[in-house]
A and B are shown apart, each in its own frame.
Chain A
Amino acid sequence: MEELLMRHPYDDDKTEKNKILLDRLNYLTGYHYKNCEAYRRFIDEICGGLKDCDDLSDVPFLPVGIFKRKELKSIADEDVFKVMTSSGTTGQQVSKIFLDKETAGLQQKVLASIVSEYTGKSRMPMIILDCPSVLKNRNMFSARGAGILGFSLFGAKKIYAFDDDMELNLSGLKEFIKQYEGQTIFLFGFTYMIWQYFYKKLIETDEYLPLENGVLIHGGGWKKLVNESVSKQEFKEGLNKVCGIKSVHDYYGMVEQTGCIYMECECGHLHASIFSDVIIRDMEDFSVCENGKKGAIQVLSALPHSYPGHSILTEDVGCILGEDDCPCGRKGKYIEVYGRMKNAEVRGCSDTFER
Chain B
Amino acid sequence: MTNLEKYIEAFAEGLEIDKSVVKEGLEYQSIPEWDSVGHMGLVAAIEDAFDIMMDTDDIIDLSSFEKGIEILKKYEVEI
Find out whether the CB atom of B37 lies under 8 angstroms from the CB atom of A138.
Answer: yes
Q: Could you tell me if A81 and B29 are in contact, using CB atoms closer than 8 angstroms?
A: yes
User: B56, A153: Cβ atoms under 8 Å?
Assistant: yes
- Minimal beta-carbon separation of A235 from chain B (angstroms): 28
Closest chain A residue, CB of each to CB of B54 = A123
Q: How far is the CA of A51 from the CA of B71 in the complex (A)?
A: 44
| A225 to B37 alpha-carbon distance, docked (Å) | 30
Check: B77 CB closer than 8 A to any chain A CB. no
B60 touches A152 (CB 8 A): no
**Interface residue? B3 (CB, 8 A):** no
Which chain B residues lie closer than 8 Å to A153 at the CB level?
A: 56, 59-60
CB neighbours (8 Å) of B53 from chain A are 122-123, 156
How many residues on the B side are at the interface (Cβ–Cβ under 8 A)?
15
Query: Which has the most chain B C-beta neighbours within 10 Å: A81, A101, A135, A138?
Result: A138
Contact present for B36 and A149 (CB under 8 Å): yes
1/0 per residue, CB under 8 A from A, across B29-72: the answer is: 10010011100100010010000011111011000000000000
CB pair B40–A152 under 8 Å, yes or no, is yes
A145-184 contacts to B, CB under 8 A, are 149, 152-154, 156-158
Q: Point out residues on A near B: beta carbons under 8 Å.
A: 81-82, 101, 105, 108-109, 112, 116, 121-123, 135, 138, 149, 152-154, 156-158
Further 6 A-B residue pairs, CB within 8 A, beyond A135-B37, A153-B56, A156-B47 = A112-B60, A121-B55, A138-B32, A153-B59, A153-B60, A156-B53
